[in-house]
Amino acid sequence: MAVALAAPHPEAVAAGERAVARGGNALDAALAAAAMLSVVYPHQCAIGGDLIALVRAPGGETTAIIAAGTAPAAVAQVAAEWTAVPRLGAHSVTVPGMLAGWRAIAGLGAKSALGEALTDAAGVAAGGYPVSAGLRRALESRAEAVLADPGMREVFADSGEVLPVGAAVRQPALAATLSRLAADPDDFYRGETAGSLVAALQGAGGVHTAVDFAAYAPEVVPALSVRAADATWTVAPPPSAGAVLLGVLGASAASTDPADVLRASIRGVHARALHLGDPRAGAVDVAAMLDLAPDASPAGREPRPSGDTAAVVAMDDEGWAVTIVQSVYMTFGSGLMDPATGILFHNRGSAFGVDPALPSMIRPGARPPHTLTPAIAERGETIVVAGCQGGRAQPWILGQLLPAALEGGALDGLLGRPRWVVGDRDLGFEDLTLVVEPGVPDVFRMLAVAEGIGVAEFGGPSDEAGHVQLVRRDGSTLEAASDPRADGVGILTGSDRE
């Protein structure tokens, strides 16, 4: 079987290759890569985090897996006094959904048990891997937090300084946990692992309980699709921001004016802030996001989620396709690692708000508004599967890339093009600002000025312009590409390579 696979770290891609060599399909390859990323890319994803994914079956049906974590039942007891949800620490942690998400993906059509991917990842956690350039940047950016937390300090700074590029990272506690979960994945939510995680969170001041963990389950539902520009665009429904991406594509994909995607994205910033939340916890207006709520005004600003996410995409010649986007939210998440299990906790709960007028308000059992935006685009015999790191900017990043990816041309060249993003506090600005990489056409700056928003420039290709992973099938031809802003690679692997 031939499988196209892309991920932001070569060790993850190698894990996917091993899964295919064992007889696996695209789902097996992606799960192996995703599990490995939780070891080698801990600043962006860990099994103490969340994921949102899309799985497209050979018949064309696409399923969304929303493994977004839920707020603990007792959160109302502490949240009543908050003027904002804490950005870091135990109160920023929702019940992690990632492992449950992996299990749900495997159950949709993988050929191997999830335990094989976890065992492979455990071996690398125990044996060690070198610090990549991306991990080093993350360690430098959050050195104070790494040194302050006993669990992270032991792994990443045992000498008193954060590890340099090329230094070996060994995670024996995480290796033991992954091996235990390989034998019994349910242990994460109802066993020894769950007990350790609850104790660690409570010890840090959290209100999480064993009941919160045992009650957790991912949502597996039909994906959300629209037709626009003679193509079908497919995303996950809320609390994913996918509906906002569909709004951007619907407003710009068929346009001959390149600035229309920026116009749509500016409206999307406002629509997301006003309308995105958990439909299981309160009313969420999907139509307003698809329409980009043109009369909306900025609200519900979120803090900056730098370095939050990693994506894996895969497609095989039997027709299986998958995009997994997984996250610890901000770099190294909550800043808490349970030393007993080696599991780093995300801080996805900090995306909640406290305004009862907005669907993003924190509530017991609710899921926060999510940046994670996996996407699939189809036109005729061409299918593009995409995943992206980029925080709240994911819809604007994918809005720039997906229409062009359907048109053909080299994926590597497309990913190397200069990009722009638009946002406020998520990009480090108080007011809405367009931030461009060098080489972005002046028309975008001119439009931003005309729209009354600020303009700034990255010094060069930037992590904040996104780490995009793409695979494409055009007829019988498979190809893959990984964003040059990350540490990854795209490959075609398997016995029937084209």
Would you call 471 helix, strand, or coil by DSSP?
strand
* Residue 66: both structure tokens together: 């929303």
Q: How does residue 307 score in pLDDT terms, banded at 50, 70 and 90? A: very low
What whole-number percentage of the chain has pLDDT above 90? Answer: 83
- Cβ atoms of residues 490 and 6 within 8 Å: yes
DSSP characters over 214-234: HT---EEEEPEEEEETTEEEE
Q: From the CB of residue 368, how many other CB atoms can be counted at a distance below 10 Å?
A: 29
Q: Is the pLDDT of residue 301 over 80?
A: no
**Which residues fall within 8 angstroms of residue 373, CB to CB, at 6 or more apart?**
52, 235, 236, 240, 241, 242, 244, 245, 325, 388, 394, 395, 398
Helix spans in 56-165 (H): 75-79, 98-106, 114-127, 133-141, 143-148, 150-156
Average pLDDT over residues 371-375: 94
- Cβ atoms of residues 473 and 315 within 8 Å: yes
* Residue 231: both structure tokens together: 């193509």
Q: How does residue 487 score in pLDDT terms, banded at 50, 70 and 90? A: confident
How confident is the model at residue 6, as a pLDDT?
98
Specify the DSSP class assigned to residue 438: T
- Cβ atoms of residues 415 and 8 within 8 Å: no
pLDDT tens-digit profile of 88-123?
A: 999 999 999 999 999 999 999 999 999 999 999 999
Higher pLDDT among residues 304 and 155, named by residue: 155
* Residue 10: both structure tokens together: 């070569």
Task: Identify the H or E element spanning 176.
Answer: helix 172-183
Q: Is the pLDDT of residue 13 over 50?
A: yes
Would you call 26 helix, strand, or coil by DSSP?
helix
Which has the closest alpha carbon to 4: 388, 386, 407, 417?
386
Q: How does residue 59 score in pLDDT terms, banded at 50, 70 and 90? A: very high
Rounded CA-CA distance 422/434 in Å is 4
How confident is the model at residue 308, as a pLDDT?
60
How confident is the model at residue 304, as a pLDDT?
47
Q: Is the pLDDT of residue 391 over 70?
A: yes
How confident is the model at residue 296, as a pLDDT?
44
The domain locations on the chain are 39-220+322-351, 221-305+372-494
- Cβ atoms of residues 437 and 466 within 8 Å: no
Distance of CA 215 to the CA centre of its chain: 23
Q: Is the pLDDT of residue 486 over 90?
A: no
Task: Identify the H or E element spanning 273.
Answer: helix 260-275
Q: Is the pLDDT of residue 436 over 80?
A: yes
Specify the DSSP class assigned to residue 393: G
Q: Is the pLDDT of residue 496 over 60?
A: no
Specify the DSSP class assigned to residue 131: P
Average pLDDT over residues 284-307: 65
What whole-number percentage of the chain has pLDDT above 70? Answer: 96
Q: How does residue 56 score in pLDDT terms, banded at 50, 70 and 90? A: very high
Work out the angle at residue 324's Cα, subtended by the Cα atoms of residues 27 and 392, and round it to the nearest 5 degrees: 170
Sign of torsion, CA 22 25 31 36? positive
- Cβ atoms of residues 375 and 235 within 8 Å: yes
Q: Is the pLDDT of residue 38 over 80?
A: yes
Q: From the CB of residue 3, how many other CB atoms can be counted at a distance below 10 Å?
A: 30
Work out the angle at residue 39's Cα, subtended by the Cα atoms of residues 35 and 44, and round it to the nearest 5 degrees: 90
Work out the end-to-end distance of the chain between its first and last CA atoms, rounded to an integer number of angstroms. Answer: 11
How confident is the model at residue 495, as a pLDDT?
64
Q: Is the pLDDT of residue 303 over 70?
A: no
Q: Is the pLDDT of residue 465 over 50?
A: yes
Tell me the backbone φ, ψ of residue 45, rounded to 5 degrees: -155, 150
- Cβ atoms of residues 239 and 367 within 8 Å: yes
pLDDT tens-digit profile of 161-218?
A: 999 999 999 999 999 999 999 999 999 999 999 999 999 999 999 999 999 999 999 9
Work out the angle at residue 442's Cα, subtended by the Cα atoms of residues 440 and 447, and round it to the nearest 5 degrees: 110
Sign of torsion, CA 84 87 90 94? positive
CATH of 221-305+372-494, one of 2.60.40, 3.10.20, 3.30.300, 3.60.20: 3.60.20
**Which residues fall within 8 angstroms of residue 50, CB to CB, at 6 or more apart?**
67, 68, 69, 94, 96, 97, 98, 101, 326, 327, 346, 348, 370, 372
Average per-residue pLDDT for the chain: 93
How confident is the model at residue 295, as a pLDDT?
54
Rounded CA-CA distance 366/369 in Å is 10
How confident is the model at residue 300, as a pLDDT?
44
Average pLDDT over residues 391-399: 91
Three-state SS sequence of 336-361: CEECCCCEEECCHHHHCECCCCCCCE
Buried b or exposed e, range 378-389, using 16+ CB within 10 angstroms: bbeebbbbbbbb
**Which residues fall within 8 angstroms of residue 40, CB to CB, at 6 or more apart?**
9, 11, 12, 124, 129, 132, 135, 169
Average pLDDT over residues 133-155: 94
